[in-house]
Amino acid sequence: MIRVHDLAKTYPMPGGEFPALTGVDISVEAGEFVAVVGRSGSGKTTLLNLLAGIDRPTAGQIRVAGIALHEVPEARLAAWRGRAVGLVFQFFQLLPTLTVAENVMLPMDFCGTVPARRRRPLALELLSRVGIADHADKVPAGLSGGQQQRAAIARALANDPPVILADEPTGNLDSSTAEAVLGLFRDLARAGKAVVMVTHERDLSGYADRLVTLVDGRVAEDVAVSA
């Protein structure tokens, strides 16, 4: 589902080029849950942005959900992203003026994947899958952090994308809520999605299948998580 080969990304800085990623090789299959860890500044977010097509690589190949991201023009990526990738952020990033259900319906609207009359029932279904169906008609500000993150996950699933990318989704949650969210991602992987999650959580056993460790923009370790 995800094939990354010899990926590099450098940022232009006043003092010269800054290499955020160098020679990264990673593969993620459908049904796999991969956790990416590393110190602050090691390039985790950079990698995720490249996988989501939000940023362009400086060198290397990157194939996600069947398309070669390094070859496709920027303009075509938006629609692809809406269908192929579900994104989850640390700060939830729900639109404040829309209700939770409307937030979930938004990707269906933009991508035209679901007929208008089917959108709300589908959104409610997704919300009950993440356990917050009761809050469907509240605005995000009325929800707790954990509930907002569940809503964000429901939104990431709106178009049933094969790939889920999450950047520190538990960073703003207490440990028991964080575990529930990790459980959700594990279930998504079991259901066949390729899940890549950047995290600072220490104990991922029982959730992630593999652990990729980045150090200074290089893959230092890529190991299976022991159960």
78 binds other proteins (CB under 8 A): yes
Least distance from Mg ion to the Cβ atom of residue 30, Å? 25
Closer residue to ligand ATP in complex, CB, 39/118: 39
Q: Are strands 59-64 and 33-38 parallel, antiparallel or unpaired?
A: unpaired
CB nearer other proteins, residue 55 or residue 216:
55
Task: Please name every residue paired with 35 in a beta bridge, in sequence order, or none if there are none.
Answer: 197, 211
Residue choice 22, 45, 148, 159 for contact with ligand ATP (CB under 6 A) = 45
- Helix/strand/coil for 110: helix
Smallest gap from Cβ 47 to ligand ATP, in A, equals: 7
Instruction: List the structure tokens of 211.
Output: 């652990």
Q: Smallest distance, Å, CB 154 to ligand ATP?
A: 24
> Count of residues binding ligand ATP (CB under 6 A)?
12
Binding to other proteins in span 169-208, by CB under 8 A: none
**Partners of 211 in beta bridges:** 35, 223
DSSP SS3 for 75? helix
CA distance 210 to 225: 5
Q: Are 108 and 136 in contact (CB under 8 A)?
A: no
Residue 158 makes contact with other proteins by CB under 8 A: yes
- Interface with Mg ion (CB under 5 A): 45
Q: Does 224 bind other proteins (CB under 8 A)?
A: no
Among 39, 93, 174, 203, binds other proteins (CB under 8 A): 93
Q: How far apart are CA 155 and CA 152, in angstroms?
A: 5
Question: Which strands form 194-198's sheet, in the order they lie side by side?
Answer: 85-88, 163-167, 194-198, 33-38, 210-215, 218-224
User: From the CB of 14, what's the least distance to ligand ATP, in Å?
Assistant: 10
CA 120 – CA 154 distance, rounded (Å): 12
Given the structure tokens 């575990």, which residue do they identify? 179
Report d(CA 64, CA 80) in Å as an integer.
10
- The nearer residue to ligand ATP, 44 or 150, going by C-beta atoms, is 44
Residue with the closest Cβ to ligand ATP?
45
State in angstroms the smallest separation of the CB of 69 from other proteins.
13
The footprint of other proteins (CB under 8 A) covers 11, 49, 52, 54-55, 74-75, 78-79, 81-83, 87, 93-98, 102-103, 105-107, 109-111, 116, 119, 155, 158-159
Which residues contribute to the site for ligand ATP (CB under 6 A)? 11, 13, 18, 20, 38, 40-46
